[in-house]
C-alpha cells in the first residue's frame, strides 16, 4: 500500500452524478492527493467516467478496487443503503474512508459504524462539505463572535415544489435512501446547526406523507433544544406550490439576525437598523475544501473535519424527527 506520509491515493466506489462535478475532480486537484481508480456496477459507465476524468483504473466490482494496494483511501458515493457495507469493508482492508451523506440509513447503522471506526486504526470523515464553504464559514464567524448578540433561537424553512421527475428515483425509496428527500437534503442543514451551536439535549419531530404513491415523508417538522439554551425549529416540505417555495435559515440574536439560504449565495446580517449583505462564490468542485481538509487529516496534519460521532448526531436527529411518520 502506498505510504500515507506522502500523499493519499483514492479509489471511488460509486462514480455517479455526485462524483461527476461536486467531488470527483477534487481528488485530483487537492494537494498531496491523486485519484487512482473508480468503480461502478455498470462497467461501461465506470470506463466512461475514468476516460473522461483521466483516471488510470476502473472496475465494475468493488471488491477488486478494495484489493488494490496502491489505494489507501476510499470515497464511498453509492446510494445510502450500501454506505455501511462499503465503509466497513474499506476499514477492514486498512483504507481510510470519506463517506457521502447521509452517512448511513439510520441511528442503528450509525452506532455500528461508530464502533467499527473506534476499533479501527484507520480514519473516517463524513462528507458534510458545507462546513467548509465560504458563506457558512462566515456564518460560523458571526455566531462565534456574538455579532448579533446572544443567540436565542433559529428557524429553518425549506419548502420546495414537488418534482415529478423524481418519482422513480432511489431518493424516494426509504429502503435505499433512509427516508426520502428529507434524508437526502436535511443532513447538510442539520449538520450546520450542530456545527454552529453544538450538541443537543432535546429533540422532537413529526413527519407526514401527502402523496399516496410515496413511501416517504414529504413534510417534516422538528424542534431541537441545544445544550447551550438555543432553540431550533425546522419545517421541510417537498410538495408545495411553486409560489410559496422557500429556502431560508434565520438565526435570531439579542441584537439582530443572520439570514442565509442552503441553495444560494447571499448572506444578510442585521444589527439594529443596519443590514450588511455579502455574496459568496463556491468552488466549481464544491466538495474540494472539505476533501482537502480530509486529505490533511488522513496525513495527520489536521484534526477530523467531520467525524463519525458528528455524523451520528445528525442521523439521530433525523430519526427522531421522522420516526412517527403518518401516511
User: Within this chain, do residues 161 and 294 fall inside the same structural domain, yes or no?
Assistant: no
pTM, full prediction: 0.94
Distance (Å, rounded) from C-alpha 93 to C-alpha 116?
12
CA distances 294 to 79, 113, 126, Å, are 21, 18, 9
pLDDT at 168: 56
Query: How would you write the chain as a 3-class SS string?
Result: CCCCCCCEEEEEECCCHHHHHHHCCHHHHCCCEEEEEEECCCHHHHHHHHHHCCCCEEECCHHHHHCCCCCCEEEECCCHHHHHHHHHHHHHCCCEEEECCCCCCCHHHHHHHHHHHHHCCCCEEECCHHHHCHHHHHHHHHHHCCECECEEEEEEEEEEECCHHHCCCHHHCHHHHCCCHHHHHHHHHHHHHHHHHCCEEEEEEEEECCCCCCCCCCEEEEEEEECCCCEEEEEEEEEECHHHCEEEEEEEECCEEEEECCCCCEEEEEECCEEEEEECCCCCCCCHHHHHHHHHHHCCCCCCCCCHHHHHHHHHHHHHHHCCCEC
In a domain, 314, yes or no: no
230 and 160 co-located in one domain: yes
pLDDT at 175: 74
Determine the structural domain holding residue 183 and report its residue range.
134-281
In this predicted model, what pLDDT tens digit does every residue of 83-140 receive, in sequence order?
A: 999 999 999 999 999 999 999 999 999 999 999 999 999 999 999 999 999 999 999 9
Q: Looking at the structure, do residues 186 and 100 belong to the same domain, yes or no?
A: no
Q: What is the pLDDT of residue 222?
A: 98
Residues of the chain with pLDDT under 70: 1-5, 164-168, 170-172, 211-216, 324-327
pLDDT at residue number 211:
66
The number of folded domains in the chain is: 2
pLDDT score for 326: 42
Domain CATH code at residue 142: 3.30.360.10
All three cell numbers of 305, joined, read 473535519
CB of 160 closer than 8 Å to CB of 99: no
Residue 310 lies in a domain: no
Please indicate, yes or no, whether residues 25 and 118 belong to a single structural domain of this protein.
yes
- C-alpha cell, 222: 422538528
pLDDT of residue 213: 58
Question: To 10 degrees, what angle do helices 181-197 and 134-144 make?
Answer: 40
Q: Quick check: is 313 in a domain?
A: no
Same-domain check for residues 237 and 173: yes
Q: What per-residue confidence (pLDDT) applies to 105?
A: 95
| CATH code for the domain of 47 | 3.40.50.720
So what's the pLDDT on residue 217?
78
**In a shared domain, residues 256 and 148:** yes
> What pLDDT score was predicted for residue 137?
99
| CB 107, CB 135: distance < 8 Å | no
pLDDT value at residue 197: 99
- In this prediction, residue 200 carries a pLDDT of 97
- Residue 104, domain member (yes or no): yes
Amino acid at each position: 500500500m502506498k505510504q500515507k506520509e506522502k500523499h493519499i491515493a483514492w479509489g471511488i466506489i460509486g462514480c455517479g452524478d455526485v462524483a461527476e462535478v461536486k467531488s470527483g475532480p477534487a481528488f485530483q486537484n487537492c494537494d498531496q492527493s491523486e485519484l487512482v481508480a473508480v468503480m461502478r456496477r455498470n462497467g461501461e459507465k465506470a470506463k466512461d467516467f475514468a476516460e473522461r476524468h483521466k483516471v488510470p483504473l476502473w472496475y465494475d466490482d468493488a471488491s477488486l478496487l478494495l484489493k488494490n494496494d496502491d489505494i489507501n483511501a476510499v470515497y464511498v458515493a453509492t446510494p445510502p443503503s450500501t454506505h455501511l457495507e462499503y465503509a466497513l469493508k474499506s476499514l477492514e482492508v486498512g483504507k481510510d474512508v470519506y463517506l457521502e451523506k447521509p452517512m448511513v440509513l439510520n441511528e442503528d447503522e450509525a452506532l455500528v459504524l461508530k464502533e467499527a471506526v473506534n476499533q479501527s486504526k484507520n480514519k473516517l470523515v463524513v462528507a458534510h462539505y458545507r462546513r467548509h464553504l465560504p458563506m457558512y464559514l462566515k456564518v460560523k464567524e458571526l455566531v462565534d463572535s456574538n455579532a448579533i448578540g446572544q443567540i436565542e433561537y433559529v428557524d429553518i424553512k425549506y419548502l420546495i415544489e414537488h418534482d415529478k421527475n423524481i418519482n422513480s428515483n432511489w431518493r424516494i425509496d426509504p429502503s435505499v435512501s433512509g427516508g426520502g428527500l428529507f434524508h437526502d437534503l436535511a443532513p447538510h442543514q442539520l449538520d450546520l446547526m450542530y456545527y454552529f451551536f453544538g450538541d443537543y439535549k432535546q429533540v422532537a419531530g413529526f413527519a407526514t406523507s401527502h402523496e399516496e404513491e410515496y413511501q416517504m415523508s414529504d413534510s417534516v417538522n422538528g424542534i431541537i433544544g441545544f445544550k447551550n439554551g438555543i432553540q431550533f425549529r425546522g419545517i421541510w416540505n417537498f410538495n408545495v406550490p411553486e409560489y410559496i417555495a422557500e429556502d431560508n435559515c434565520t438565526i435570531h440574536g439579542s441584537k439582530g439576525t443572520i439570514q442565509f439560504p442552503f441553495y444560494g449565495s447571499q448572506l444578510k446580517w442585521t444589527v439594529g437598523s443596519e443590514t450588511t449583505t455579502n455574496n459568496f462564490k463556491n468552488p466549481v468542485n464544491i466538495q474540494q475544501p472539505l476533501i482537502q481538509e480530509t486529505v490533511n487529516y488522513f496525513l495527520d496534519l489536521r484534526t477530523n473535519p467531520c467525524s463519525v460521532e458528528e455524523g451520528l448526531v445528525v442521523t439521530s436527529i433525523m430519526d427522531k424527527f421522522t420516526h412517527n411518520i403518518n401516511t
